[in-house]
């Protein structure tokens, strides 16, 4: 299947923050992906994007390499660089691992008797996201919430394993955008998850986290099925 061609939006200004040119360019490209302006399969033409970003081609190539290492971009022979496409099997596999890691982290956190402050802050951030905000403003605190649970477990290896799937989780978040009409929906879900941890009920927390992730897989599967004309499969996490 041919990769989708990116149709640039000439009305959008691309600004680089005061960091290294390569990192700044990588940040802008990441934002375009997380906001859905660069959809899965979109091809990033070197000359076009180097010009839009106002950087040299070698800097653009270095920036794409950053995102390739994160799993957000892929370099295909004779096709150049394109946004990674996750199929149904990729999504199921990613979320099975995610569920295993997160529910174990939740169990450890509840056993310790504490509620991660970083998780509370992430929920507060989600609750403060205004309607109509860029989707990356939702993705950021959402990812920070789940990462805070992982980090609070205090397991280096668990954290390292989670880092291995974070980019794919972010790509999945991009595709979930259409299933949330308002950021407040996302905030409400995470408020419920945080409350389950605060209540100290491991069985309830496990159930809610698995349900939260399973809903995401069903929504993603439905989106893929709609595009491919197939029926989504039930997934048990």
- Convert the pLDDT of each residue in 17-58 to its tens digit: 556 899 999 999 998 988 788 888 899 999 999 999 999 999
Spatial separation of the C-alpha atoms in residues 194 and 199, rounded to whole Å: 9
Q: For the chain, give percent helix, strand, coil, nearest 5.
A: 65, 5, 30
Q: Tens-of-pLDDT digits for all 237 residues of the chain?
A: 444 555 555 556 666 555 689 999 999 999 898 878 888 889 999 999 999 999 999 999 999 999 998 888 999 887 889 998 888 888 999 999 999 999 999 999 999 998 999 999 999 999 999 988 888 899 899 999 999 999 999 999 999 999 988 888 988 888 787 777 789 999 999 999 999 999 999 999 999 999 999 999 998 888 777 655 444 455 556
3-state secondary structure of 207: helix
Give residue 219's region: left, alpha or beta (phi > 0; psi -120 to 50).
alpha
Domains (ranges, CATH) in the chain? Answer: 21-83 (1.10.10.10), 88-228 (1.20.120.530)
- Asked whether 123 and 190 are in contact (CB, 8 A), the reply is yes
- Asked whether 116 and 152 are in contact (CB, 8 A), the reply is yes
State both tokens at 235. 């997934």
For every residue of 189-202, DSSP letters joined together read: HHHHHHHHHHHT-H
Q: 64 vs 37, 136, 155, 205, CA distance in Å? A: 16, 19, 31, 38
User: Residue-wise over 84-109: b if at least 16 C-beta within 10 A, else e?
Assistant: bebebeebbebbebbbebbbebbbbb
pLDDT at 2: 47
pLDDT at 1: 45
pTM of the model: 0.76
Give residue 31's region: left, alpha or beta (phi > 0; psi -120 to 50).
alpha
């Amino acid at each position: 299947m041919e990769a989708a061609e990116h149709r640039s939006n000439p009305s959008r200004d691309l600004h680089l923050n005061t960091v290294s040119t390569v990192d700044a360019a990588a940040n802008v490209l990441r934002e375009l992906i997380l906001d859905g302006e660069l959809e899965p399969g979109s091809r990033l033409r070197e000359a076009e994007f180097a010009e839009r970003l106002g950087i040299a081609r070698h800097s653009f190539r270095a920036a794409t390499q950053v995102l390739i290492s994160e799993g957000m971009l892929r370099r295909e022979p004779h096709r150049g660089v394109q946004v990674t496409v996750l199929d149904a099997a990729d999504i199921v596999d990613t979320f099975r691992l995610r569920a295993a890691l997160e529910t174990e982290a939740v169990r450890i956190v509840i056993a310790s008797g504490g509620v991660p402050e970083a998780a509370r802050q992430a929920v507060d951030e989600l609750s403060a996201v205004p309607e109509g905000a860029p989707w990356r403003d939702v993705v950021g605190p959402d990812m920070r919430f789940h990462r805070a649970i992982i980090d609070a477990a205090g397991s280096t290896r668990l954290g390292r394993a989670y880092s291995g799937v974070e980019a794919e989780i972010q790509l999945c978040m991009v595709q979930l955008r259409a299933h949330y009409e308002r950021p407040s929906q996302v905030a409400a879900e995470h408020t419920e998850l945080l409350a389950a941890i605060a209540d100290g009920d491991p069985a309830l927390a496990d159930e809610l986290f698995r349900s939260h992730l399973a809903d995401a897989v069903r929504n993603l599967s439905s989106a893929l099925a709609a595009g491919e004309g197939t029926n989504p499969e039930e997934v048990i996490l």
